[in-house]
Structure 1
């Protein structure tokens, strides 16, 4: 639980590598959940078991190949990670950044290898946080999300691999397409995978991509 100087609180899960050695520097993944995991019960963050999200990223076999810290904050009910059209980060995103800063200060984190991933509402949050803190993250993986194309120029230095389902009726794939187009027009070189015939649950296909984690963990600032 984060409790800042103003008394504001935010719950989060923190995964520490089993092989943690303070003499070494470790990459960190910030995981931003979707709308269904909002609330005050951290178990909601584990809704997808060990096949997707933090459960997958923390799995023993995955961690044996890619030892890393994982930070998974929980957004309160009826709140959002991001408002792409606002001038400032949302209140919740400010708390996420405070959590991230706290973990970086407390643990042996490689500042060159900070990554952010998110699905749906968390996909919006992924696009948003990269734009709000340019140069902080080496890579971002927004899945079935979207953002404001006006923020694209701020994300050029971050490696991006975005995913969406062609038949997503909750978040239209045009949301990802326009972000990718804007990023390319700004000089970025993002990767984009759109799954034909797939609906909102495109994260299932994204996490089955054999190249996803090898690609992610090779990115450095």
Structure 2
């Protein structure tokens, strides 16, 4: 619930006016990118289009955006490939690799500029871009309908945040630049909460696994079949809600849960409250597109819950 409390604090802080001697200013950082529009984009002005965000490898970083055409989908477009989606290929400046915040800001701008189907936004990348794809999707899972990391790796401790995001990773079995264990470990971690996560290993391929992956038609067919996850409320019996009601504690917070018109009302020891809506008898959510849910658990007679938000917070139910 910490993100909820933080949001309330931000609302409070926004009401505080600053001293008149200080005026608000903003700084915008330039992000270069290649843009490919599918056939029919201009002729059908009512249609919303899927979007693939492609993240290049370290060798294409810099200030010459034409370098981004060296590999992956932008290279295939240059050779005449036609895609039924918008393709955006930004360029990293070479200082810190891929910055998730910068990419999130880019996506926000793209959705304003172009007719993007917000439920069909995908991210993929190779090598450094594979790492970037894992990191971006883990940090902003609510933005993506699928993630396709190629010969990359990531932080397995945050893999649970992809529990509702389809994943298909690719790697070369003989990669000696980014070892295949990097993808194997990430996919294994994702599968703990998302069993459908896929991994394709090309046994005889070294680092360049992207050529085979991006030339695989089934990759795009699989990708375009995916839509952004949204929770769907389903009714739960009143007796189930009564069983879940009670007081739950961890070292930081106390949650008081009571049934409330087919849902659950949660109050904290800080006098904040939120309504939980049921997906099933064990899983509840707050808003359809917000990547936050509450999972009720039971081991023997011991009951508890897990709040999956910015972090995974475990609570134990008091007797």
Task: Give the TM-score normalised by structure 1.
Answer: 0.86
2:82 to 55, 59, 62: 62
CA distance in 2: counterparts of 1:38 and 1:61, whole angstroms:
23
**Which residue pairs with 1:100 in the alignment?**
107
Note if 1:80 corresponds to 2:103: no
Distance 2:33 2:207 in 1: 25
Other-structure match for 2:20:
none
Report how far residue 6 of structure 1 moved: 0.7
- TM-aligned CA deviation for residue 133 of structure 1: 0.5
Question: 2 CA distance for matches of 1:184 and 1:151?
Answer: 12
Q: In structure 2, what is the equivalent of residue 45 of structure 1? A: 68
Task: Note if contact 2:175-2:207 (Cα within 8 Å) is conserved in structure 1.
Answer: yes
Structure 2: distance between partners of 1:61 and 1:9: 28
Correspondence for 1:143: 150
Residues 126 and 150 of structure 2 are in contact (CA less than 8 Å); yes or no, is this contact kept in structure 1? yes
1:166 equivalent in alignment to 2:186: no
Matched with 2:59 is: 36
How far apart in 1 are the matches of 2:215 and 2:116?
27
Q: Structure 1 residue 54: deviation in Å?
A: 1.9
Q: 2-side partners of 1:47 and 1:194: how far apart? A: 23
Q: Is 2:123 the partner of 1:123?
A: no
State the shift of 1:56 in Å: 2.1
C-alpha separation between the residues in 1 aligned to 2:77 and 2:121?
A: 14
Where in structure 1 are there 5+ consecutive unaligned residues?
82-91
Offset of residue 212 of structure 1: 0.9
Map Cα deviations across residues 144-176 of structure 1 (whole Å, 9 max, x no partner). Answer: 000001111111111111000011111011100
More strand by share: 2
User: By how many angstroms is 1:61 displaced?
Assistant: 4.8
User: In structure 2, how many angstroms separate the alpha carbons of the residues matched to 1:199 and 1:61?
Assistant: 25
- 2:12 alignment counterpart: none
**Structure with more of its chain in helix, by fraction:** 1
SS at match of 2:67: helix
Aligned length: 202
- Given that 2:131 and 2:153 are in contact with CA atoms closer than 8 Å, whether structure 1 keeps it comes out as yes
Q: Which residue of 1 aligns with 2:33?
A: 12
Q: Once the two structures are superposed, what CA deviation does each residue of 1:2-21 show, in whole Å capped at 9, x if it has no partner? A: xx941322211122223113
Larger Rg: 2
Counterparts of 2:183 and 2:159, CA distance in 1: 12
**Are the equivalent residues in 2 in contact too, given 1:114–1:136 (CA < 8 A)?**
yes
1:29-79 deviation digits (Å, cap 9, x = unpaired)? 00000001000001100113xxx322325765532xxx2111111101232
Deviation readout 1:174-204 (Å, 9 max, x if unpaired): 1000001001112341111001121000011
